[in-house]
Amino acid sequence: MRVYWELARVGYLRQTAYWGATCAGVFTNTVWGFMISFVQLALFAAHTRVAGYDATDALTYVWVSQGMLMTVYIWGGWVEIAQRIRTGDIATDFHRPVDFQGYWLAQDIGRALYHAIFRGIPPVLVASLVFHLRFPTSPLTWLVFAVSLLLAVCISFALRFLVNLSAFWILDHRGVASIASFAWPFLAGMYGIPLAYLPEPIYRVVSVLPFASMGQAPLSVFLEKPGLVPTLALQAVWVVALLALGRVVLARAERRLVVQGG
């Protein structure tokens, strides 16, 4: 257990080297936050409530989702494992006494913590000076939000893990990854608009997919929307299911590697 704590620290510390990129990223998130805010305001010029959200909810959604982008990290093409598969370094990775999936998950959680603090908080702070946002009043909500965010990171990791593992079978996996995952950020609700804006039948399908549990779920918790327990429960189910799937695929990959004399 101590190992995973250390790995999380490593994941966190690795990010501290890129403080310049972090600052630039905060700027980017802030600019996008403003632009999408104007779009939302245009919508709320015509309605007081849309899909159960009022203007304050919607603006909060925009800014917290911008803050969450890097934390959840579903945009950005993480290819570390795939690269190691391509170079063959992956063979030595399997000889480590640490569980392979756990090794990467722990680091990703450390990374996510750094991004949650340094990419997540600043844009929301700036926005709160300009717009009226809705922050949870109860400390319990903040705690549950943190848990929900952690689950979201795990789901995101599990999906990225699977995408990376495809490099074991596909020579140039980038194309396949591109096709497979093009809709994930949108389905996660990370385009600054709540998924609830989608037509009701579509929303009902989309809301049970793992992607919604990455983005829309923590945001619903933050905004104290109804259905807290089902939201968290669904997140937990997807975390377990996708990590388990990752292990199944990983076992196949390891067998393949051994068979080919790696």
Partner 1 sequence: MTYRTSTVLLTIGAALATFMDFLMIAAIMGHLPTLDGWSLPEVGLLYGIAGVAFGITDMCVGNLDLLPRQIRDGTFDVVLVRPVGSLFQVLAMEFGVRRVGKVLQSGAVLAISLTRLHVAWTGPKVAMLAVAPVTASLIFGSVWVIAISQVFWTVDTGEVANSFTYGGSFLTSYPISIFSGWLRDLLAFVIPMAFVSYYPALFILGRPDPLGLPAFTPLLTPLVALAMLGVAGLIWRTGVRHYRGTGS
Q: Among residues 23 and 121, whose Cβ is nearest to partner 1?
A: 23
Structure letter (DSSP) for residue 75: S
Adjacent-strand bridge partners of 42: none
Shortest gap between Cβ of 223 and partner 1 (angstroms)?
18
Q: How far is it, in rounded angstroms, from Cα 132 to Cα 29? A: 18
Cα–Cα dist 119/132, whole Å = 20
Residue nearer to partner 1 on the CB measure, 123 or 145: 123
Contact code string over 24-63 relative to partner 1, x by CB under 8 A: xx-xx--xx-xx--xx-xxx-xxx--xx------------
Torsion of CA 237, 238, 242, 247, to 10 degrees: -20
For position 17 contacting partner 1 by CB under 8 A, the verdict is: no
Distances 34 to 3, 121, 123, 222, 235 between C-alpha atoms, Å: 41, 15, 10, 20, 29
Query: 99-138 mask for partner 1 (x: CB under 8 A)?
Result: ----------------------------------------
Angle between helices 139-165 and 228-259 (to 10 degrees): 20
179 binds partner 1 (CB under 8 A): yes
- Candidates 98, 176, 249, 257; binder of partner 1 (CB under 8 A) is 176
Q: In angstroms, rounded to a whole number, what is the distance separating the alpha carbons of residues 135 and 89?
A: 46
* By the rule CB under 8 A, 204 interacts with partner 1: no
Which residues sit at the interface with partner 1, rule CB under 8 A? 20-21, 24-25, 27-28, 31-32, 34-35, 38-39, 41-43, 45-47, 50-51, 171-172, 174-179, 182-183, 185-186, 191-193, 197-199
